[in-house]
Chains A and B, each alone.
Chain A
Amino acid sequence: MADDILNEVVSPEDLTRFERLYHEELHNGSVSRMTQFNYSFCLVRSEFCADIRKGILLLEELFKTETEDIDRKRDYLYYLAIGNARIKEYTKSLKYCRAFLAIESENSQVQHLESIVKKRMETEGLKGMALAGGAVLALGGLIGLGLAMAKKGNKESGSK
């Protein structure tokens, strides 16, 4: 349903712009937390898995090294949950959601994300089951067809 938060994609211009800033600062020897966050924010919204994974790494680094600012820690946690959900690492994503909710249980934005991830896990799990179920049905159909033909054969031989 309303899971556009996991579907919207960063524009290539934005990604390039924040990537350039990041590399400039990296080249000059020190990347500010703001620049690293802005770049990760774009990376985890990319259409490419490799970008998302890179964004997750950068966010993990920010999270580990942030000691004072609790507000920023919650930003990192939230986007770690988003990034992991986008590459279908649902268990990890839920882990980050729960870590967040353990501190701020009433946060509706994270509750919203958690319910989307759970729903995705369910539907994608169901799809897997439906595929397996389809194979059973197809097999059942073949057996059914065989039985019908056998019956028809019996009938024909019986009417002679």
Chain B
Amino acid sequence: MSSSGQYSYSYIFKYIIIGDMGVGKSCLLHQFTEQKFMPDCPHTIGVEFGTRIIEVHGEKIKLQIWDTAGQERFRAVTRSYYRGAAGALMVYDITRRSTYNHLSSWLTDTKNLTNPNTVIFLIGNKMDLEGSRDVRYDEAKKFAEENDLIFVEASAMTGENVEQAFLETAKKIYQNIKDGKLNANMTESGVQHKERGGPASLGDSSSSDKPNCSC
């Protein structure tokens, strides 16, 4: 692969990661982008950003992931990041029931602030801590089915199912584009299509954003 090859891709998908404080959102992102577990992860301030290029049906896709702070005091400002998300990863901690109980509130925000075709993926994190389990698998599975969410239990620590959650979401988004449900290049869709032929580079990723002010 040429040096530019690894940076070329045909789509950008925007994701957000949401859920209560301490459920492991940043750790999931870190495990996905760096393949490493980050112990003693501090609380995220506002939002953090991560990126990785993946492949779906032979097409290279750049995932642009916004990891939001779970602390209540950021709730008002992090809401602005829901807009234009193609995928939303909604996370709870299987060892803390309260984080599961709050899912309906996170789901309401997601449904209200994203577009109807945003793919919502429910992740029950910390599945490695089976001994302290506080939320049954089948219970969460039922909640997911009732609300039309894709669901998996995962572990940011061992890495189990982390890759799967991010990739399955991308596959579903890709399918929505192919089915014509999602119009790539509409800002609200959270999807950007790069024309074939010209090499798309990471540097182009901000082309849709306004340029930095030059003063």
The A-contacting residues of B in range 181-215, CB under 8 angstroms, are 202-203, 205-206, 209-215
In the complex, chain A residues whose CB is within 8 Å of the CB of B205: 4
- Is the CB of A156 closer than 8 A to any CB of chain B? no
Asked whether A11 and B80 contact (CB < 8 A) given A2-B202, A4-B206, A34-B73, the answer is yes
Bound-state Cα–Cα, A11 to B45, Å: 20
- Is the CB of A74 closer than 8 A to any CB of chain B? yes
Taking a contact as CB atoms under 8 Å apart, the answer to whether A109 and B42 are in contact is yes
Residues 92-124 of chain A, each 1 if its beta carbon lies under 8 Å from chain B, else 0: 000000000000101111001000000000000
Residues 31-55 of chain A, each 1 if its beta carbon lies under 8 Å from chain B, else 0: 0001000100110001111001000
Q: Which of B46, B209, B213 contacts A48 (CB 8 A)?
A: B213
Taking a contact as CB atoms under 8 Å apart, the answer to whether A47 and B213 are in contact is yes
In the complex, chain A residues whose CB is within 8 Å of the CB of B47: 5
Closest to A69 in B: B73
Chain A-chain B contacts (Cβ-Cβ < 8 Å), number: 76
Bound-state Cα–Cα, A10 to B38, Å: 30
Taking a contact as CB atoms under 8 Å apart, the answer to whether A42 and B48 are in contact is no
Taking a contact as CB atoms under 8 Å apart, the answer to whether B209 and A9 are in contact is yes
In the complex, chain A residues whose CB is within 8 Å of the CB of B77: 18, 38, 41-42
**Number of residues on chain A facing chain B (CB within 8 A):** 37
Taking a contact as CB atoms under 8 Å apart, the answer to whether B215 and A88 are in contact is yes
Q: How many whole Å from A52's CB to the nearest CB in chain B?
A: 7
**Number of residues on chain B facing chain A (CB within 8 A):** 32
- Is the CB of A58 closer than 8 A to any CB of chain B? no
Closest to A47 in B: B210
In the complex, chain B residues whose CB is within 8 Å of the CB of A79: 45-46
Asked whether A87 and B51 contact (CB < 8 A) given A42-B77, A75-B45, the answer is no
- Is the CB of A1 closer than 8 A to any CB of chain B? yes
In the complex, chain A residues whose CB is within 8 Å of the CB of B211: 47
Taking a contact as CB atoms under 8 Å apart, the answer to whether A107 and B42 are in contact is yes
- Is the CB of A68 closer than 8 A to any CB of chain B? no
Bound-state Cα–Cα, A95 to B76, Å: 28
Bound-state Cα–Cα, A160 to B211, Å: 62
Residues 97-141 of chain B, each 1 if its beta carbon lies under 8 Å from chain A, else 0: 000000000000000000000000000000000000000000000
Bound-state Cα–Cα, A34 to B74, Å: 9
Which residue, of B30, B38, B210, B213, has the highest number of chain A Cβ atoms within 10 A?
A: B213
Taking a contact as CB atoms under 8 Å apart, the answer to whether B206 and A7 are in contact is yes
- Is the CB of A78 closer than 8 A to any CB of chain B? yes
Chain B positions within 8 Å of A, measured between CB atoms, are 26, 30, 38, 40-51, 64, 73, 76-77, 80, 83, 202-203, 205-206, 209-215
Q: A7-B210, A46-B213 are in contact. List 11 more A-B contacts (CB 8 A).
A: A4-B64, A5-B48, A7-B212, A41-B77, A47-B211, A86-B212, A88-B212, A106-B42, A107-B42, A108-B41, A109-B26
